A = this chain, B = another copy of it.
């Protein structure tokens, strides 16, 4: 039986055909006006997606590399920071801080619930030495969307800077860097930006540069100052070390697709796909892992009793061709996750809901055939 491959994970996400095609073009040299013009345009396009006039730097790295870059460029050993975590990726901020001798006040909420901005305000007031607050826009492990707007409003009134891991949120759900006053925003390439993994991107405000200028954590490859110097030395952008040329060319094409669709239209699409997924799962009698502040990038769903989650996941992937995600950390074995992120449309969601229905039926889960898909259609068709 032919089942096409569909990638419905919260990263990597499907890469549009014209973006794939860019990588098949002959490689060009990076120290040329041709490439540097493309890099310059990519930076300008990224600023529109980040909704910022702040500086943008791009590293060949996984998203975690840009997270480490934020810690080592903003902090000095012994500095106090506040990490507001609601899952696996929020916890990574504290892990990185520990590796560099930075004192992390670790505020972690129960997985499946969002961090409370008031708690951040309280902890900032309690420790005026806190230099930076690190948190997560869309927590991939739990499907929570943090209220960055409120958090940023609180942090902006203090001397601390706000650092947002927007890796799986940027280009999918609202992230208004300048309007909200988010000082440092970190992104990855393989999520809403719709290209393969391998690029880590960061935006840096003037307030963040002030901290960076006195930071004493050791760094070389991830030094913002070095990257900024190459980026700004001449009219055309450049990098201190060899950039991921093919991924930059792919990003240029992905940014053209984003401009053509429009960022607000993309946010609306993600909201619609997420709402359809949530309603479909509820119609199937399943329970959402994160019922409040659910992220429009990924939906986490409790596995019902008497359903084998590993078997469900493998049936959907290996028989029906649709890759979902399972649970991480404390949610392992308890949930599965559907990514509706990046290059995904209404009919991808319908196909995914149908495949979940089918795999549930095969495990003798009681449902009326089509009830999940019907609920998705109601949302998607606006009826």
Contacts and interface: CB of A to CB of B under 8 A. Distances in A.
What class of interface size applies to chain A in its complex with B?
35 or more
A241 B95 contact: no
A11 B220 contact: no
9 contacts: A12-B29, A20-B27, A60-B62, A64-B221, A65-B241, A190-B242, A196-B244, A197-B243, A198-B245
Instruction: Give the interface centre of A61, A65, A100 by most chain B CB atoms within 10 Å.
Output: A61
Copies of this chain present in the complex amount to: 2
A7 interface: yes
Nearest to A188: B242
A206 interface: no
A317 B68 CA distance: 38
Interface in A2-48: 5, 7, 9, 11-15, 20-21, 23-30, 32
Contacts of A333: none
Contacts of A246: 23, 196-198, 246-247
A100 B64 contact: no
Interface in A243-277: 243-247
Contact of A220 (B63, B95, B323): B95
Contact of A323 (B12, B13, B32, B241): B32
Contacts of A221: 61-62, 64-65, 68, 222
Contact of A60 (B15, B60, B242): B60
Contacts of A9: 29
A101 B218 contact: yes
A233 interface: no
B64 A241 contact: yes
A219 interface: yes
B62 A243 contact: yes
Nearest to A326: B31
Nearest to A244: B198
B242 A63 contact: yes
A217 interface: yes
Contacts of A243: 62, 197
A126 interface: no
Instruction: Give the interface centre of A21, A190, A217 by most chain B CB atoms within 10 Å.
Output: A190
A379 interface: no
A13 B9 CA distance: 33
A96 interface: yes
